[in-house]
Structure 1
Amino acid sequence: MSKPTIFSAPKGIPDYVPPGSGGFVVVRDGLITAARRAGYAHIELPVFEETGLFARGVGESTDVVSKEMYTFADRGGRSVTLRPEGTAGVMRAVIEHGLDRGALPVKLCYSGPFFRYERPQAGRYRQLQQVGIEAIGVDDPALDAEVIAVADAGFRGLGLTGFRLELTSLGDATCRPHYRELLQEYLLGLPLDEPTRERARINPLRVLDDKRPELRALVADAPLMINHLSDSARAHFDEVLSHLDALGVAYTVNPRLVRGLDYYTKTTFEFVHDGLGAQSGIGGGGRYDGLMAQLGGASLSGIGFGLGVDRTLLALTAEGVDLAGPGGCDVFGVPLGDAAKARLVAIAGQLRAAGLRVDLAYGGRGVKGAMKAADRSGARYALVLGDRDLAEGTIGCKHLETGEQWSIPLADVVGELSAKLDEGGADVRIR
């Protein structure tokens, strides 16, 4: 009889399993917490959408749409795409549910997997994990600064220090058309290969985003948007910088910064960590003033970001930051006999209802094996219950770090352990 096939995860899609998954949770939740502190409410998005949403919203000339999307026909023959980014889906949801007709700005945050067909390498996956926020409906430089500051606070709250913020302005409708003509004229005068020349005709800004070293050298003297800003766009950018100064957010103006999506206007930014090598970006975003109208909604502006959970995790590792997540539990129960197991199962339920994380030694292990399991669990306390304890109405408790041991009346075990964990600072209390 042949052996069954052993399956592996698809190429370029990482698994996060214990104990390393604890660090993943810390990073994701830390980035989300920074957004919630600034008043961003949760939105949960579909993992796939109509393909047209991304083609129109992200831009057909982008690498994301032309080369990287996972697109397929569903059983009804409809073309759908696994989401490659979050902003277009958020805008669709805001329009569909009329959120833009309420108080503005609409401030939303989200997290989860996104999908791009890229060559897998360290820090670049085909299923990437992101945390994002969007602030929709108000064109205010102070809001731009807030969005950037939320990302900066998220990284710093995790203990990350070796990153830098780069930003620029990509102009607005009053200056982009003239700049487009200047850039297009410059590019079409260069000895470009035919695919790049065609891209220059369709969307010349995309050429500046090309990562090929030979092309980067060729366009080194290309005109820069920041040198051709209108008075209004310049004033907007200067005010953003002023607010960032007031918030204490350090930055570098990078006139050559170009993001990979078509919808960006005005403020555009990226967070970079040199400890990651070629894949140095850990997050970024910008303003997208015409996107909602382009998707059939009101003519409202917006700004947001996407931060890479995977990349941030790698950056923290590169800096040697301890990524140990919370232990698996606070209390570990060790039953000695069937009657003790039945009682400990009930006690575990009571402790969990009180907000403690509790695990038990299952499978009839001996004391030695069960206590080893307790040590591995990361619990702070072990509860040991045997027939003699049941007869006396008590339960043994051991502090697994100090080795201190004492007995607790069974009727008091929930209250005493809850108090001790509150006093000592449990890693996680579930309420």
Structure 2
Amino acid sequence: MNAKLDSGVTTRPVTRQTFDEVLVPTYAPANFVPVRASGLDVWDQEGKHYLDFTSGIAVCSLGHANPQLTDALTAQLKTVWHLSNAYTNEPVLRLGLALTEATFADRAFFCNSGAEANEAALKLARKYAHGKFGPHKSRIVSCLSSFHGRTLFTVSVGGQAKYTEGFEPLPPEINHIKYNDIESARAAITDDVACVIVEPIQGEGGVIPGDIEFLKTLRELCDKTGALLIFDEVQSGVGRTGALYDYMNVGVTPDILTSAKALGNGFPIGAMLTTNEIAQYFNVGAHGTTYGGNPLASTVALNVIETINQPAFLARVKEASARIFANLEKLAADYPQLFGKVRGKGLLIGLPMAEGYKGKAKDYTKTAEKLGLMLLVAGPDVIRLAPALIVSDAQIADADRIMRQAADEFLAAA
């Protein structure tokens, strides 16, 4: 037995300071430690209540500790947890059927995260291009200010230098264009491009919706050059924008789509969806994962998809979105010195800071947090709201009240 451990390790008291003492400092978490949650309600170690408008960065779309998902997972826990991909299992087969029947796709590959889903998509795109056209067709085109994950490959494809500094040399044959800039796309997407990867709404880059003409142009250029179009819907997918996936809103069908975050409502799972023609280039042994498609994650994800992919549920997302947008537009009008024009889609919403408060988004969210409202940022200049899709009208009103109180306190302290 490790001499450092004692018999009470599982119940040993821990605090926020423990993070600074024992965890690798890749994050700077809030000063409180959540210990219990239900729906959009969260309580910390001191018993303080918070209204959660982050849903774990657009993950817990059906709320924390969702009873339906808890029951489904508990039942699966009593049968089989893990088999390895030397075998298949019933939950993953049902999930694969549900996703292919609900989308453009014929085939699904399951993994554990959005980064892994994008890694699989990019590898498949290169494999397809090399197999169909030859190794000269290998270049990847992405957008500046995009975010596609934290592996070396996906962080290189993401167009943010702050995430690649110190990790050089980076993988070659990756170029970046301006988001929503059609001329930039036309100049970059030529016959040597294997794939173009884009978020239909940029999340980490500031909650910026893709212009429909820009996305349509990407589709046309990919068709013209034989490149594959990949939609990264890790953050925008699974009902977040009022459709199961945002490509359905914009009327542009990708060749490959990646999904994660809300797919498991907090249980780790990612998916890559594609067509029969493209999927055949991932033959046996070409790619893999130990845990991807395990029965536990697949069970949760299947219940998530079946719950969210209903007309009434998606209609309610749009209704809740309209209420929040109206509140934020009024907030920005009442505090023009503090906030800019609200943007986003569905329940993925960005509220930019006004010119005089650029770089202060995190400071504002900390003020709101002290008042009991959990918010996100999307870069230093944008407050991001991504509440659970089950958010109620009363919770929307409560969030508006707290954001106004936070604005008053923030300005008073400035």
Scaled to the shorter chain, the TM-score interval is under 0.3
> Normalization by structure 2: what TM-score?
0.24
Give 1 or 2 for the bigger CA radius of gyration.
1
**Whose RCO is larger (CA < 8 A, sep 6+)?**
2
More strand by percentage: 1
> Normalization by structure 1: what TM-score?
0.24
